[in-house]
Structure 1
């Protein structure tokens, strides 16, 4: 992998490009991107450090590895526009719903493909990057791409049948955590705390709690029990959450996406 090109530069692509460059796993001079809104692309290029391209064909000809980061409904048109220059290249797709089997039907012969589901915390090196087990990359190519994505978070290989649920809980999950942060900050503000302080304290609390679970490998229920003293304050809060159907609401949020 010599030159990496992003097809599309939305929020997820920005997160990845920022994370890749900040980690030092790829030189910013080797990162390129194309997006139809050139003014916005130029601003993002100045902020992140990649090289903007004026056209899709220019990007495809320049880069040996392409990241399909446009909207899923745009992919067929993108492939049609650059199909003549795609053979021989590696394509990493981060578009939801486009797995290996679907690309195999849509791509011209000679294109090697890997489906990856990332999430936005990759921007700060704390992402989750799900690699579909089925792919057509060369061994050294896949290792290079795996290492690149590993520089911005946890990389995990999943069978094709689990990419949907895996991508849902990790890709959509940050929005749910942000709702959680906002709600608890509202509670802190209600009782007199400045909002900036509330966000800082609660975000660190969530970060620390997640790191504790990862470091110890303990069941979340055990860690919860460790905070809940008999007749104490925490168990009162846990009870209130259970009365409001907290865990059921979490499960329903995933079901809503899976049944969309």
Structure 2
């Protein structure tokens, strides 16, 4: 099985490196290209056996599964460019949320799927979100899920929860790293702890929290109750969080959904034109 990557920016490179680290793909089975070819060349420097292609058509010619890792507005013109080179046994896999598999299928004769990855997949963990097109064969579905099962937990979703699922899985690491950074900054500002020590303690705490949740020993509410001693310090901190966070996350989701709706509108206009 040969796998192609059109676009080797942040997420394209993360997927390539994760698959290689997980030993689920070999460098010689991967075909890559990028609009700025130097980005693809840097990957080949790390993995000399990887196949560097100067054109998208070359990737399409050699790959059975083709990941489209470009910006949403670049996908329509890309599909126009390669549609005549695709055949029904191939499968296009988009990793962008504003584009539906139905839109891809409306332009090409091959199979289509959407997989929304997460930066956590680089650590061979986290979740990847799946939506399959109507022409996607059972063989293709199983192959793609098997591929991602080595670097994530694959979960199928419906179109109507695409944005919120992406917010949690894909955007979540950025949101919570931002909160963790603010947590650290406040600790350094209000006490005598050093930045280095605060980062070390907070990072190890978060890793431990993740493992604790993964173990299944506690639900999130149970974990809070376990740490909170009646009349203790943690309880006072929780009171502050409860009173000051308010509708923070509601506003966050409202903003991400508004941006998503804007992107969907523009992409839809492309496909209807």
TM-score by length of 1: 0.91
Which consecutive unaligned segments of at least 5 residues does structure 2 have? 260-273
Give the whole-Å Cα distance in 1 for the aligned partners of 2:94 and 2:204.
32
Secondary structure at 1:83 match in 2: helix
Which segment drifts farther, 65-74 or 5-14? 5-14
Give yes or no for contact 2:112–2:132 (8 Å, CA) kept in 1: no
Which segment drifts farther, 230-239 or 126-135? 126-135
Give the whole-Å Cα distance in 2 for the aligned partners of 1:250 and 1:86.
42
Give the whole-Å Cα distance in 2 for the aligned partners of 1:127 and 1:47.
25
Tell me what 2:175 maps to: 176
Tell me what 1:31 maps to: 30
Give yes or no for contact 1:100–1:115 (8 Å, CA) kept in 2: yes
- Residue correspondence of structure 1 range 1-260 to structure 2 within 5 A: 2-47=1-46, 50-88=50-88, 89-105=90-106, 107-109=107-109, 111-132=110-131, 134-190=133-189, 191-216=191-216, 218-245=218-245, 248-260=247-259
User: How far did residue 121 of structure 1 move?
Assistant: 1.0
Give the whole-Å Cα distance in 2 for the aligned partners of 1:18 and 1:135.
30
Give the whole-Å Cα distance in 2 for the aligned partners of 1:98 and 1:217.
38
Which consecutive unaligned segments of at least 5 residues does structure 1 have? none
Give the whole-Å Cα distance in 2 for the aligned partners of 1:198 and 1:51.
43
Secondary structure at 2:162 match in 1: helix
User: How far did residue 124 of structure 1 move?
Assistant: 0.9
After superposition, give the CA deviation of every residue in 1:144-192 in whole Å (9 maximum; x if it has no partner). 1101111111111112222222112211111101102211221333333
Tell me what 2:271 maps to: none
Give the whole-Å Cα distance in 1 for the aligned partners of 2:22 and 2:121.
10
Give yes or no for contact 2:101–2:132 (8 Å, CA) kept in 1: no
Give yes or no for contact 1:93–1:116 (8 Å, CA) kept in 2: yes
Give the whole-Å Cα distance in 2 for the aligned partners of 1:78 and 1:128.
27
Give yes or no for contact 2:184–2:199 (8 Å, CA) kept in 1: yes
Secondary structure at 2:99 match in 1: coil
Give the whole-Å Cα distance in 1 for the aligned partners of 2:164 and 2:204.
27
After superposition, give the CA deviation of every residue in 1:211-242 in whole Å (9 maximum; x if it has no partner). 32232274312211111111111111111112
Give the whole-Å Cα distance in 2 for the aligned partners of 1:134 and 1:81.
21
Give the whole-Å Cα distance in 2 for the aligned partners of 1:240 and 1:55.
55
User: How far did residue 67 of structure 1 move?
Assistant: 0.3
